Structure 1
Amino acid sequence: MLELKNISKRFGDQVVLDNLSVTIEDQKTLAIVGPSGAGKTTLLRIIAGLTPADSGSFTYNGQPTTAAELRKQGVIGVVFQGFELFPNLSVLKNITLAPTLQGVSAAAAQKHARNLMDQLDLEAQANAYPYSLSGGQKQRVAIARALALDPKILLYDEPTSALDPNLRQSVADLIASVKQQGMTQVVVTHDMEFAKMVADATLTVAKQGSESNEA
């Protein structure tokens, strides 16, 4: 379980998050929702260790920690809004690059990647390049790439925003499938209907830092 307490963040004179606290339960899916500019993505980036909070604390499994330490330990994985796949690498290489850079053998990284591709229906795209993939396929590759590092918590930044609206259900099914494998997930979305489809709990972030938790 990951707990954030009294997280605050401002950019210049603008307060984005003001003493926000949230608990992310193990093996559950939390949706973070709210209007544009309310700080949803900023909060996700703080959890991921990509943007520093101005104040506040992290506790993971009862032990005080920091976002930077969680990132260093590989606890957190991120699926970015624009997927951010490497255009010059095949699907297989996109998935295996980070593990091999972290010292995993090429054979082990490929075996894990092929298992993930099998689970996400990407076997036929192993040697394809991102330009040739559909939006839904790119989304699955981005998820496989994040899962290749075996994170404990997987974060999604607006997972449906770059996709055709007709693919919303398929993304919801993907998130449900990953959850069934025991993954803890956090989904940032502006789409309330999508949030209802995927979430066990919802954090609604409003502008000026007010927020509410809903089971």
Structure 2
Amino acid sequence: MTTLVVDAVSVAYGKDEPVLRDVSIQVEPGRILAVTGPSGAGKTTLLSAMAGLLRPRAGSVTVDGVALRDRDHAVAQRVVLVPQDNGLAAILTAAENVQVALIAQGAGPAEARRRMVEAMDRLGLAAQSDQLVEELSGGQQQRTAIARGLALAGAVLLADEVTSELDATNRQKVLDVLRDEAARGAAVVFATHDPEAAAACDAELHLVDGRAELIRGYSDLPVPA
């Protein structure tokens, strides 16, 4: 099982002042960590650093003790990111978006189709598989992006505001799916502004102006205020 550690990380864009300052947390397999905070607090920046998209100005992000160099290295370490903007190709169908990601990861066509069907079923999207992404509602696109992340079966699953456009029923479905991913041994990080969704997670890291405050869970881990 895989553990992701954020150790005293500060992140800045260019020469600007850091938007994350001295953040530390350990993301443990089998548990879901909620990252909360107001808009602009640094939630997406933290997940981007965890995914290898942003290089810390200070500190490190490691997977099982290996420091992430970039996004390709993170992918090789089986770190999967479901971005807030879903990252889907509008000219492909929902199914094709999932299958293309799997084939790029090395799955054969038959295996990619099997895993796509399973993931789409879990998100209640079987009927939308053959629709173009641009024909889907915002909530359906969001769930398709989650299905793609599930199909990739990451050891670390990072989900950025993935319930923001969902109704109560589908929000609960997504939370149940994230819980299932943790149960299979994944380390799950869920950035959200929804206090009810955060309460369903095992632990909560609250960000304010780029600084971290541990709200609950992981009480044995020191996190700077």
TM-score category of the 2 structures, normalised to the smaller one: 0.7 to 0.9
Q: How many residues align?
A: 213
| Equivalent residue for 2:131, pick from 123, 128, 133 | 128
| Alignment-derived partner of residue 212 in structure 1 | 214
Shift in CA distance, 168/98, structure 1 to aligned 2, threshold 3 Å: closer
Opposite residue 108 of structure 2, the aligned amino acid is: S
Extract unaligned runs of 5+ from structure 2.
Answer: 218-225
- Partner Cα separation in structure 2 for residue 5 and residue 76 of structure 1: 17
- Partner Cα separation in structure 1 for residue 156 and residue 34 of structure 2: 13
Identity %: 37
| Alignment-derived partner of residue 44 in structure 2 | 41
Shift in CA distance, 186/210, structure 1 to aligned 2, threshold 3 Å: closer
> 2:18 aligns to what SS in structure 1?
strand
- Partner Cα separation in structure 1 for residue 190 and residue 101 of structure 2: 22
| Superposition pairs of residues 1-215 of structure 1, within 5 angstroms | 1-11=3-13, 12-61=15-64, 63-66=65-68, 68=70, 70-164=73-167, 167-197=170-200, 199-207=201-209, 209-215=211-217
After superposition, what is the alpha-carbon deviation per residue over 1:152-179, rounded to whole angstroms, capped at 9, x for unaligned?
A: 1111111122335674333323323333
Shift in CA distance, 102/165, structure 1 to aligned 2, threshold 3 Å: closer
TM-score, length basis structure 2: 0.84
CA offset at residue 73 of structure 1? 1.0
Q: Are the aligned partners of 1:189 and 1:195 in contact in 2 as well (CA < 8 Å)? A: yes
- Partner Cα separation in structure 1 for residue 84 and residue 199 of structure 2: 19
| TM-align CA RMSD | 2.2
- Partner Cα separation in structure 1 for residue 212 and residue 76 of structure 2: 31
Extract unaligned runs of 5+ from structure 1.
Answer: none
Q: Are the aligned partners of 1:92 and 1:113 in contact in 2 as well (CA < 8 Å)? A: yes
